Structure 1
Amino acid sequence: MQRRKFIGSASIAGIITAMLPGSLVASNQESSNHLLDAKKPNDRAYWTGMLYRMMNPVFSNLANGTLVKNMPFEVSPSYDGRKNVTYLEAVGRAAAGMAPWLALPDDDTKEGQMRKDLKAKFLKGIANGVDPSNPDYLNFTKEYQPIVDAAYLAHAFLRAPKALWEPLDDTTKKRVVKEFKALRTRKPWNNNWQLFTAITEAFLLEIGEEWDKEAVDRALNKFKDWYVGDGWYSDGPNFSFDYYNSFVIHPMLVDTLKVLSDHGKVPVADYELALKRMLRYVVHLERMISPEGTYPVIGRSITYRNGAFQALAQVALIKKLPEDISPAQVRSALTAVKKNIFQKGTFDKNDWLTLGFCGHHPDVADYYSSTGSMYMASLSFLPLGLPADDEFWTSDPEEWTSKKAWSGKSFKKDYHVDY
């Protein structure tokens, strides 16, 4: 894009207690005690607790009309000064990551209470965010950055239409559509930004609105040209070795093509080829996770943290993992990554994300980075959209590829592909 060991000393029970609204704390206190037993690891409880902690400040404040008032505005030392874009950044990026979780059916479990709470706050918050009279009216019309973060909001609606789009009242829906169409006054940059326009327009097509076919076709044709092979796309005319294939390219390209193919606008084969390439890319991504649960700190936007694993998380969510990568090893690897990333300093005292990587160090942030930018970290939580009884969560922990390799165990050899 142009613009842009925490848990070590704290118990999961204490974290969940600190995060939940008062009415939910008591009901979660007793049930979370079992999480303190190291012999009974509960990865899903860790993931849900962490995601709720990350999401709650954003959507509690948006629902109350206090996001602009209360969200910190921390910036990179070289920040370019566009404060009015940071709030939509937080909302869109956070929504895209939590959407599959909120799409699960309502239930009376402790986790279900967290989901219900966040979903209500999201729905009320979006109504506020597109209401011109509300103090939290989000900026879709000024600067270029809203092209990016409206796309993440559109992606959230596509990921959870029955939970996040259909319950909105008619006035709010019309206002969202108006804001999305207002983005057409600006053109995306000649790189991954092409897909932000494409997925927003694909969402408009999905809900029966007039859509910009020419803009979508332009994006798709560019990425046909920008495919460099072996599961990797160039981010524009020149290749960059970073995580934008996961932050943006594979997830948005695949989901845009899914909508278009479902509506008969492109051949199903186009979607299937894009998905096939994403599956190849996630083989690389999974192998980048070290035996210790770290990964290479490469490329720009490294402060988006574990959002770097969105593509792997999405493939797990849609149950399309390559045959030699099991759900349990993905869960185990991503849990290890999260426990390395969410160290002391990753959240401030009010649970807002800070600028940094594993901790707080704004000097590594890019010139387009501010507090709202950091919510890309939500994107590796997509497998929470799988129910608690899915094998992704119930299988025994497994070693991931590099952990097997570096401990002298058998692992599958890797070869390039030609598609």
Structure 2
Amino acid sequence: MKKYTLYLMLLVLAVPAWAQKGKIKETTGAQDRAFWVKSLYKISYPVIHNLANGTLKANMPLEKGNNYNLNLKAVTYTEALGRTLAGIAPWLELPDDDSEEGKLRKAFRTETLTALKNAVDPQNPDYLNFRTEAQPIVDAAYVAQAFLRAPKMLWQQLDPTTQKRYIEEFKSLRTRTGAYNNWLLFAAITEGFLWNIGEQYDPARLRFGINKLNEWYEGDGWYSDGSSFSMDYYNSFVIHPMMVDLLKSMVEKKRASANDYNRAVDRMARYASFLERSIAPDGTFPAFGRSITYRTAAFQALAQTALMEKLPEGVNPSQVRCALTKVFHLMYEGNQNFDKDGWLVLGFNGHQPEVADVYTSTGSLYMASLGFLALGLPADNKFWADPPAPWTSQKAWSGQTLPRDHRIEN
């Protein structure tokens, strides 16, 4: 990867520096995309590069939250892989091209495939744990989701032995259960992936998660995370994206109806409108609820809705690009969220270990990559090609015309 160092330096130079009072100059879509690529690479490189070299366990720091209550070494490395992979998958699924970004993407995909192979090789020092503890149910689900998001460039590029090993690891999860909330979708999407590739699957685990989350739907784009509603970002961290990806794979195999899928997409689009409105004119957003150390994963549902070109009425792609770019500048232009070796640190925007939950460790933090899903759109898509546009809060606070907000019925 050393030969791409110069390209990364050029990416830095292509993105304008911060001006005074936390504002940035207006940028083009190409400059925004360059900064997104730089930021996603900065986040994901330590995980993928070390796993590809068999040094993830040797080099990844083991920071954990106060009163941490999991078996750290048994789960944190698997968390790092699954969460990183689900975020980079749409970008890696893009076809190869001769652009500098394309060359970087191809090289990084090659490393990712090596990392995936090492992760399930019992003879590799970085063989990851899927066989014990409940936590791997979560992170196997993110690996499965990544395979659904990048079937051609990730799953189908793995050699038959590695594919067989993932199938065996996923099936081994059936000996365990997890929490009675969004965790039901983790079991469901892993089984859905197995069914999607023609493997034996558990239909009860597949359907139960979908059915229960539909029972927990509260209306206007919000699901309850279990029987008690929690005001946090889990609708974006997990629920909407996994429901939509799972149902999409099931519709393709005629296991679910198009109506079920379209309803889930409409709900996610409505929820995405709340996320877009939550981004303040200066790019800040509320730090509330569980797991705020997942940082930009809070915008996974918005990024995925943009990726699918299903943004809600009144929200255009370029305003989402500009809003998220502003957020990413605040989070990732500096080094406050990284240690000296480039690993993410516990916190929201800086090293703030006091906000970490009892299940949070270094590996958990790589959920941050999920905010970058729109990089799966090609560079000539209107998301990137359209001129800059103000997002909703900018319009509201500057007295511009803005769309009226309204609820959805289903």
TM-score, L = length of structure 1:
0.92
CA distance in 2, matches of 1:31, 1:382: 19
> Do residues 299 (structure 1) and 289 (structure 2) align?
yes
The one-letter code sitting in structure 1 at the alignment partner of 2:362 is T
The answer to which of 256-265 and 305-314 deviates more is: 256-265
Q: Is the 8 A contact 1:28 1:110 kept in 2?
A: no
The one-letter code sitting in structure 1 at the alignment partner of 2:321 is R
> Do residues 319 (structure 1) and 299 (structure 2) align?
no
Measured after TM superposition, the shift of residue 31 of structure 1 is 7.3
The one-letter code sitting in structure 1 at the alignment partner of 2:388 is P
Going from structure 1 to structure 2, the CA distance change for 1:359 and 1:261 (only over 3 Å counts) comes to same
> Do residues 384 (structure 1) and 375 (structure 2) align?
yes
Give per-residue Cα distances to partners, 1:203-243, cap 9 Å, x unaligned. Answer: 11111111111111111111121001111000001111100
CA distance in 2, matches of 1:294, 1:239: 25
> Do residues 60 (structure 1) and 40 (structure 2) align?
no
DSSP 3-state at the match of 1:166: helix
Name the counterpart of 2:403: 412
Query: Where does 1:118-137 land on structure 2 (aligned, <5 Å)?
Result: 118-137=108-127
Going from structure 1 to structure 2, the CA distance change for 1:395 and 1:216 (only over 3 Å counts) comes to same
The one-letter code sitting in structure 2 at the alignment partner of 1:253 is M
Name the counterpart of 2:85: 95
The one-letter code sitting in structure 2 at the alignment partner of 1:332 is C
CA distance in 2, matches of 1:31, 1:249: 34
Name the counterpart of 2:5: 25
Name the counterpart of 2:230: 240
Give per-residue Cα distances to partners, 1:230-258, cap 9 Å, x unaligned. Answer: 11000001111100000000000111111
Going from structure 1 to structure 2, the CA distance change for 1:164 and 1:190 (only over 3 Å counts) comes to same
Name the counterpart of 1:270: 260
Going from structure 1 to structure 2, the CA distance change for 1:39 and 1:243 (only over 3 Å counts) comes to closer
CA distance in 1, matches of 2:9, 2:182: 44
Match of 1:69 among 44, 58, 61: 58
Query: Where does 1:190-339 land on structure 2 (aligned, <5 Å)?
Result: 190-339=180-329
Give per-residue Cα distances to partners, 1:119-139, cap 9 Å, x unaligned. Answer: 111111111110111110000
Going from structure 1 to structure 2, the CA distance change for 1:36 and 1:250 (only over 3 Å counts) comes to closer
CA distance in 2, matches of 1:232, 1:262: 25
Name the counterpart of 1:357: 348
Give per-residue Cα distances to partners, 1:153-212, cap 9 Å, x unaligned. Answer: 101000001111101000000000000000000123210000001111111111111111
Measured after TM superposition, the shift of residue 32 of structure 1 is 6.2
Unaligned runs of 5+ in 2: 18-24
DSSP 3-state at the match of 2:218: strand
The answer to which of 76-85 and 270-279 deviates more is: 76-85
Match of 1:141 among 131, 134, 144: 131
CA distance in 2, matches of 1:97, 1:365: 21
Unaligned runs of 5+ in 1: 1-20
Measured after TM superposition, the shift of residue 268 of structure 1 is 1.4
Measured after TM superposition, the shift of residue 40 of structure 1 is 5.0
Measured after TM superposition, the shift of residue 353 of structure 1 is 0.7
CA distance in 2, matches of 1:258, 1:95: 19
Going from structure 1 to structure 2, the CA distance change for 1:217 and 1:35 (only over 3 Å counts) comes to closer
Going from structure 1 to structure 2, the CA distance change for 1:218 and 1:404 (only over 3 Å counts) comes to same
Give per-residue Cα distances to partners, 1:33-73, cap 9 Å, x unaligned. Answer: 44458575510000000111111111111011110000111
DSSP 3-state at the match of 1:228: strand
> Do residues 403 (structure 1) and 394 (structure 2) align?
yes
Name the counterpart of 2:22: none
Identity %: 54
Measured after TM superposition, the shift of residue 110 of structure 1 is 1.4
Give per-residue Cα distances to partners, 1:69-123, cap 9 Å, x unaligned. Answer: 0011111122114111000100000000000001111122211122112111111
Measured after TM superposition, the shift of residue 322 of structure 1 is 1.3
**What value does the CA root-mean-square deviation take over the aligned residues?**
1.4
The one-letter code sitting in structure 2 at the alignment partner of 1:300 is R
DSSP 3-state at the match of 1:45: helix
Q: Is the 8 A contact 1:52 1:114 kept in 2?
A: no
Name the counterpart of 2:177: 187
Q: Is the 8 A contact 2:26 2:388 kept in 1?
A: no
Going from structure 1 to structure 2, the CA distance change for 1:52 and 1:324 (only over 3 Å counts) comes to same
CA distance in 2, matches of 1:365, 1:265: 39
CA distance in 2, matches of 1:34, 1:295: 26
CA distance in 2, matches of 1:172, 1:31: 34
